[in-house]
Amino acid sequence: MNNGLADPLAIRVTGLRTAFGDKVIHDNLDLEVRRGEILGVVGGSGSGKSVLLNTILGLQQPDAGHVEVFGEDMGRSQGDVQRRIGVMFQQGALFSFLTVLQNVEAPMLEHTRLAPGFMREAARLKIRLAGLPAHAADLRPAELSGGMRKRAGVARAIALDPDILFLDEPTAGLDPIGAAEFDALIRDLRDTLGLTVFMITHDLDTLYAVCDRVAVIADRKIVTTAPLHELEQSDHPWIRDYFLGPRGRAAAEQQDSI
């Protein structure tokens, strides 16, 4: 097992097989995520994007194969690696009865022994890093707009200064302006905090705006992982339909014009 110190990979998935009864979701799936990159993960409905995410996080046990995060086998002992991981689920998954500040403090209370005053200031810093105004700290999720809830979810996800940030459909439900602002936030957080970002998304604008590479799930495995300009040259039918269809072309043209 690699100790993760000199490994250029943040995540290594090999020979992954997952199934629910007779339905096989992944079969011999391999994936490598490089440190410091923003990796987009795409695939058709039912292709197992969220199942892959949950398997990497250790929430779903595979039927075969291995998942390593920073060289640690997630199937054996997750150890301290969970503290190096931040997750923003699709709807934010915030505690509705807590304020934003309390939501961000929750991981700190569970995993650290910080003094209350220091913890509060650290949480307020993460809220600012997520692009929320200071007064949002005292609001509950129901008092936030959809975009603000997502930013609050990011603030909580980075509460413990993770090395990897997992995002599940981060721009779903946002208007184009809000989605573009969220894209910029993710790019800035990666650059500022040195994060590796694993992002499930179907948003073509997001893929073109922020992703260094894109992994495509099809045929029960990762059929390719490559920068977008290489994917545009692919002869795989699903990839061509997805990236070279009208919406894909429009997203590419919009990015080229920036």
Question: Is residue 184 assigned to a domain?
Answer: yes
User: Confidence band (pLDDT; 50, 70, 90) for 189?
Assistant: very high
SS3 123: helix
Mean pLDDT lowest among 50-54, 205-209, 242-246, 247-251: 247-251
Tell me the average pLDDT across 147-151: 94
**Which of 218, 208, 256 lies closest to 239, judged by CA?**
218
Strand order in the sheet with 164-168: 85-88, 164-168, 196-200, 38-43, 213-218, 221-226
* pLDDT, tens digit (0-9, with 9 covering 90-100), for 75-121: 776 667 888 999 998 766 799 999 999 999 999 998 899 999 999 99
Q: What's the structural domain count of the chain?
A: 1
Mean pLDDT lowest among 48-52, 208-212, 252-256: 252-256
- Give the pLDDT of residue 198: 98
* pLDDT, tens digit (0-9, with 9 covering 90-100), for 27-39: 999 999 999 999 9
Question: Is residue 4 assigned to a domain?
Answer: no
pLDDT above 90: percentage of residues in the chain: 81
Question: Is residue 3 assigned to a domain?
Answer: no
- Give the pLDDT of residue 224: 97
Question: Is residue 1 assigned to a domain?
Answer: no
Domain limits for position 141: 9-256
**Which of 84, 89, 128, 90 lies closest to 107, judged by CA?**
84
**Which of 98, 69, 83 lies closest to 160, judged by CA?**
83
Question: Is residue 123 assigned to a domain?
Answer: yes
Tell me the average pLDDT across 190-218: 96
pTM, two decimal places: 0.91
Question: Is residue 2 assigned to a domain?
Answer: no
Question: Is residue 145 assigned to a domain?
Answer: yes
**Tokens of residue 175, six digits:** 């208007």
User: Confidence band (pLDDT; 50, 70, 90) for 256?
Assistant: low
Identify the CATH number of the domain in which residue 64 sits.
3.40.50.300
Q: Which residues contact 202 (CB under 8 A, 6 or more apart)?
A: 42, 169, 172
Question: Is residue 230 assigned to a domain?
Answer: yes
The per-residue DSSP string of 53-72 comes to HHHHHTSS--SEEEEEETTE
- Give the pLDDT of residue 72: 87
